[in-house]
Chains A and B, each alone.
Chain A
Amino acid sequence: MQIKIFRSETGTHKSYTLPEGEIPLLNALSYIKETQDASLTFSAGCRASVCGTCAVRVNGREVLACAYKVKPEDIIEPLQYHPVLRDLKVDKHKAKETLQKSTAWMHSAQEASLTHSDEKLSERQTDCILCDSCYSACPVYAVNPDFLGPFALTRAYRYSTDKRESKAKSIIDNIQSNGVWDCTLCGECTAVCPKGIDPKMDITMLRGLSVQEGYQDPSFATQSFGTPDFGGGGFGFDPNAGF
């Protein structure tokens, strides 16, 4: 079968021929590197969907190369919104910056009485492998490169709901700017997460926690609800009118 892989040197997609049969994409990439073209560059680690190294895009969708079975005519490309270092290998340093800005860690630990259902509160969120798939799928990055992004926010949520965290407000304070309110809730992150995490829901929950801490949607404040004009009759609700 034939697949096409993006090559950064030429900026084009190159065709490669693979033996017939069902194999994971990562095995296919290794096969090409070992037998056909040693310069094809990609990142890989555990082969078992847990180290987060091998995320790429196949036909425009983010997948882990070790967990995706190749199909004829597949088009393999690097993650979006990441500088391409070479072929399928991208720079993932943005991840560290956004995690740092989100202060997604334990701020001040206290002893708590945790139960099995408390464990469930953040079990899914802590399955995150930092593969960057959700970043690549997030359309907000097309317009706002400073957005904290899905996994940093999922991680912020995970720590802010931890009963052992006594200063959850510090985390909430740090995700207001380019954070929870900048998400469009399109759910692309949720759709591509290889670990079944739902960052969109986590961001929604963080908005709730933010409101509890006294924050409000900044775009709400700048929106105008005051002066609709229904043709000069003054029927619109205008909070400033007449007082």
Chain B
Amino acid sequence: MIDVLIIGSGGAGLTAALSAKNAGASVTVAGKAYPTNSQTSMAQGGMNAALGNVGEDHIRSHIADTIKSAKGLCDEAMVKQMCEEAPGTIAWLERLGVPFSRLDNGETGTQTIAQRQMGGASAKRACYAQDYTGLKILHTLYDTCLKEEINFLDEHYLLNLITEEGRVKGATFLEIRTGEVKQINAKSIVIATGGYGALYHGFTTNAYGSTGDGIAAVLRAGGAVSDMEFIQFHPTALKHSSILVSESARGEGGYLVNEKGERFVDELKPRDEVARAIFSQIQEGQRVFLDVRHLGEEKLMELLPQEVELCKLHEHVDPAKALIPIKPVAHYTMGGIEVDSMLEVNGIKGCFAVGECSNAKVHGANRLGGNSLLEITALGKLAGTNACKYTLDVSDTPADDTQRQKDAQEIETLLSQAEAVNFYPYRERLGNLFYHKVGIVRDNDHLHEAFAEVTAMQESQKEMGIADKSPANNQNLIEFLEFKNALLLAPAIITSAIERDESRGAHFKIGFESENEALKKHSIYHLGKEETCK
């Protein structure tokens, strides 16, 4: 039996794997794709750490900015821990060989790392690697995992957690290549499966796979999720493809203008405020653009090479010469698996969660740019170490295969029953519904409508199925299972949003435009139980 099973092979999973291994555990990482395919590759702007390399900065300022952006909904001790860990985490990544962008300041080590300003930050604090920060951190972590001979199980799709008397015993997976349902026994588990932004299908910067599979599995296993209503909309995605244009474009001096050429918001305000300002322009019938022409071609190619390429490809626009058409879309999900300060899932012993799937309460109602890469690395280490510690006094009697048999039966049913209704149009409808009724600006009428539509969709889900009946390499089946998870999470998001009759951070509700002190608390959601706030 392995000690620590890591589910999810993005930045959080790889960091957790390295730290668990370093702490002496036997580790296996199971992911639904290959490690370098993960969402982490898409993080562009940077990773926060108060190094003070470019002007004055202090850890206490980083803490203060994070708490301010969280709008009263973070765990301040957790924020403090993350921000204090930041310089050490950068030093660790530096030793692994992350190719950070550099300053010419004659210093050595991490003191030479360049830093840029992101929205909501009071200093130039984000360490970056051009606009490929996530990609370069992820690949360096992967290289290090290969060096440490971490065991990978690629193309393993998580089905369910196996628990006994409130303790985790392992998990079941669909091995995508063979179609076999497998059970993996483990003394402890770290869930690092990413967020649920892909619920906003067609209106998200996220990869197709960010469907909240780990969060759904925790709900089914009796765990809780929290703050699911807090979904961050990124102000600047390309208008037609929803592909991200990094915040660093504004950090480097890019302006937002409407079609009259007027600026209408301070571009360096936190993301929620900028996204709403853009949204209200769009509602007034204005088109909105990002203007980076004044930065000049040379600087653009130096700082934002990826953006330049993507603009040309998807919008037929050369940012050095023309305005970039943009819209705000779903980008990051602050809510997730309810965990304690050890990152252990409340209600499931030995099960830890880290990264975007988890709600460690470091982002509160709105995440600061540059804090997500910090969370996955700084807290990823913590999760791996804690999971390893937990295994020390755990028996290695494996669970029986009840769950595996049940899951295998379910997959078999899906493969054998006729497909009455194609689910793909529903996936698109769900994305549309969420963008328009559970979006940047919400109101209770639309939220109730969305709830009714989701309930109806859950009802019709019984008719839905898959047309592809091949057991092996069945992407149709995987996408259906992902869609089922999305439909499981949808009511959690909507009911939490209905309950929250106030506006706080990324959650903005018409009729309740200010913060309500009485609602300065986390929304908790269990399956089959009434939602409660605590």
Q: Which residues of A contact B (CB under 8 A)?
A: 24, 33-35, 38-39, 41-53, 67, 85-86, 89, 92-93, 96, 99-100, 103-106, 109, 111-116, 118-119, 122-123, 126-130, 155, 158-159, 162, 164-165
Contacts and interface: CB of A to CB of B under 8 A. Distances in A.
Nearest to A44: B208
Contact of B96 (A46, A109, A118): A109
Interface stretch (B222-230, B381-389, B468-476): B468-476
Contact of B38 (A38, A51, A86): A51
B382 to A, nearest CB: 22
Nearest to B154: A93
Kindly list the 5 A-B residue pairs having the minimum CB-CB distance in the complex, ordered from nearest: A34-B424, A38-B467, A106-B97, A86-B473, A105-B143
Nearest to B99: A126
24 contacts: A34-B424, A35-B424, A39-B467, A42-B475, A45-B41, A49-B310, A50-B135, A53-B34, A85-B177, A85-B473, A92-B34, A96-B146, A99-B143, A105-B96, A105-B97, A106-B95, A118-B102, A119-B99, A126-B136, A128-B139, A130-B139, A158-B99, A159-B143, A165-B97
B208 A47 contact: yes
B146 A48 contact: no
Nearest to B242: A47
Contact of A48 (B96, B101, B130, B243): B243
A33 B107 CA distance: 54
Interface of B: 33-34, 36-39, 41-42, 94-97, 99-104, 106-109, 112, 114, 129-130, 132, 135-136, 139, 143-144, 146-147, 152, 154, 177, 207-209, 241, 243-244, 306, 309-310, 313-314, 422, 424-425, 466-468, 470, 472-476
Contacts of B108: 111-113
A103 B147 contact: yes
A236 to B, nearest CB: 50
A45 B152 contact: no
Contacts of A158: 99
Given A41-B468, A67-B313, A86-B473, 16 more contacts: A39-B468, A44-B208, A45-B209, A46-B41, A47-B207, A49-B310, A51-B207, A85-B473, A106-B95, A113-B107, A113-B112, A115-B102, A119-B102, A123-B99, A127-B132, A128-B139
B178 to A, nearest CB: 10
B135 A33 contact: no
Given A51-B36, A105-B97, A114-B102, A86 B136 contact: no
Nearest to A115: B104
A34 B38 CA distance: 23
A143 B207 CA distance: 37
Given A51-B41, A109-B95, A165-B97, A38 B132 contact: no
Contacts of B152: 96
Main secondary structure of the interface of A (DSSP, over half): loop
Contacts of A162: 97, 99
Given A34-B424, A41-B475, A89-B473, A51 B42 contact: yes
A53 B95 CA distance: 28
A53 B33 contact: yes
Contacts of A127: 132, 135
Contacts of B143: 99, 104-106, 155, 159
A34 B480 CA distance: 11
A165 to B, nearest CB: 7
B468 A38 contact: yes
Contacts of B472: 85-86
B354 to A, nearest CB: 21
B205 to A, nearest CB: 8
B120 to A, nearest CB: 24
Nearest to A8: B473
A100 B207 CA distance: 27
Contacts of A165: 97
A48 B244 contact: yes
Nearest to A103: B147
Among B97, B306, B422, which residue has the most Cβ atoms of chain A within 10 A? B97
Nearest to A54: B37
Given A33-B476, A38-B466, A48 B310 contact: yes
A86 B179 CA distance: 13
Contacts of A99: 143, 146
